[in-house]
Structure 1
């Protein structure tokens, strides 16, 4: 299909895939995606977001675009990260339904057909609930802990074990595009929008090739973004703990005076007092760090820098491009 013919037709499905140094996977990823695209009941485009790759990913994507007009490319000016790259793809996706997925083939493209079946049933958001992860025990434990801690602290009910692999109706996409915050946790924002949502169970496969891009450290950062973006519970915990410590200190002080003045004895030893001082000092530093996390995020929001910068595009018509709009956000 020629590029002009493709652009003049209404896109029904848009698949958004962030890419960072995935040259070894891209040919197989497109092969599997093309099989799924051939089975769809409407026109589909695939928006690849090159998140500042330093390998040959962009060159491979460009070659695929020359052969397949349904491929569109957003090339960011540098590596901005997973969530900004996804946001760039979402804001430049034109389909009535937008599918988000990673480019490592841990999630099978065939699952997209199951998403679409649920969409036709009237659901606005369909997300994959991962089970039987084929990863190291440490990473499985990290993911399990991540989703449960986030659900506890976030102040909002979030689906457990559900990442970004999902389908969203155009209404949901437009709602996400209206949310301007920069410390984004898209799975949480997706749940925040409401609408009619459901999950389907999928088996999480192992990475097709190469090393995983999501490390335990990055998972913790994502957890912090989710917790501090959706909840003030950590601040309330700090306040409550402060009150408890003040009451305990007051009681211990009265007890010490009683022992000293009435009984003529020493209440507790100096080693206990020293240990308590260090313990309380550590707690204070932790809570100062929590407050700092909130202040840091406020600082990021106030600066109003662009969430990402697009260096160049391929496959987009002028009416589809929103580059200047993004630069003003």
Structure 2
């Protein structure tokens, strides 16, 4: 695609069972794009939904030439579905947003202003939304999210913004660098932070979902946290080595204690101390093997070189 044919702005939204939220999402995003002006597109990615999400997308693409509907072969997960949309989109600037409208599209003009800078100078490569509060979420969800961002901030050398999700506006140059990264277990917000450049926050209040239920239960949140930590930190591996040294020292101390007791003829209380030592050392060994296995499994998955995602259909877009 030539530079002249590129839209000025792309909106990319991964969707999974969002049939109820999509009509309102398209209405609000369309109104914002109309107010901003210029050429634009809305790239919707159906991540293997089993409701009417794909039908709603294709109907929208038939009504509005800005809508591009992308359907994946199966459910790949939020981060890979987002990557698929980012690969398909054509804009010079790209707004990443979820279809549940927890992140308000009406902030787009403010993001564009921050990216443009004052008088077109001193702008930003990335403008990311930073959450001040999170409506419609449980205390447990808010507490675990806050703990996760602070934990990963301490474990990585990359400065990943606190309380910031994938909601952000990025330039085409940043997008090209992002899509060139081959990681399978993707943590897009961390990858964007790793790219660097000038990244500016836009504080906002996150709203409750406009419809439907959260697609991130506890099990998916834990897998997402594991992917983020293993993708950006080797601290668990270093910790396993440190704990290994500590456990070796504990085992050696038990050995010395046994030898000294035998030399002085003392009767050792064998069963309790032996079982405690075996249980402690065995448990720590299995824990360390688990940590190593998590990294090894990701290396194996990456080495297969399979496509990150598979697209079944694309409806709409340039003819």
Conserved? CA contact 1:154–1:226, under 8 Å: no
Pairs within 5 Å for 1:42-53: 42-53=38-49
Instruction: Quote the residue 1:313 is aligned against.
Output: 314
Conserved? CA contact 1:256–1:266, under 8 Å: no
**Which among 19, 31, 38 is matched to residue 15 of structure 2?**
19
Conserved? CA contact 2:32–2:106, under 8 Å: yes
Once the two structures are overlaid, the 10-residue window that deviates more, 220-229 or 147-156, is: 147-156
1:316, CA displacement in angstroms?
A: 3.0
Q: Secondary structure at the match of 1:162?
A: coil
**Which among 219, 239, 242 is matched to residue 240 of structure 1?**
242
Cα displacement string for residues 79-108 of structure 1 (whole angstroms, at most 9, x for unaligned residues)? 111011100111111111111011111111
Q: What are structure 2's unaligned runs of at least 5 residues?
A: 118-122
Instruction: Quote the residue 2:33 is aligned against.
Output: 37
Q: For residues 111 and 269 of structure 1, what CA distance do their matches in structure 2 show?
A: 68
Instruction: Quote the residue 1:158 is aligned against.
Output: 160
Instruction: Quote the residue 1:67 is aligned against.
Output: 63
Q: Which runs of 4+ in 1 moved over 6 A?
A: none
1:150, CA displacement in angstroms?
A: 1.8
Q: For residues 33 and 51 of structure 1, what CA distance do their matches in structure 2 show?
A: 20
Q: What are structure 1's unaligned runs of at least 5 residues?
A: 1-6, 319-329
1:267, CA displacement in angstroms?
A: 5.1
1:143, CA displacement in angstroms?
A: 0.9
Q: For residues 98 and 231 of structure 1, what CA distance do their matches in structure 2 show?
A: 28
> Normalized against structure 1, the TM-score is what?
0.90
Q: Secondary structure at the match of 1:276?
A: helix
Conserved? CA contact 2:251–2:277, under 8 Å: no
Instruction: Quote the residue 1:130 is aligned against.
Output: 131
- Residue 116 (structure 1) aligned with residue 117 (structure 2): no
Q: For residues 306 and 37 of structure 1, what CA distance do their matches in structure 2 show?
A: 32
Pairs within 5 Å for 1:86-125: 86-121=82-117, 122-125=123-126
Q: 1:23 to 1:47 in 2, by over 3 A?
A: same
- Residue 273 (structure 1) aligned with residue 280 (structure 2): no
> Normalized against structure 2, the TM-score is what?
0.93
Q: 1:217 to 1:256 in 2, by over 3 A?
A: same
Q: How many residues align?
A: 311
1:175, CA displacement in angstroms?
A: 0.3
Conserved? CA contact 2:11–2:42, under 8 Å: yes
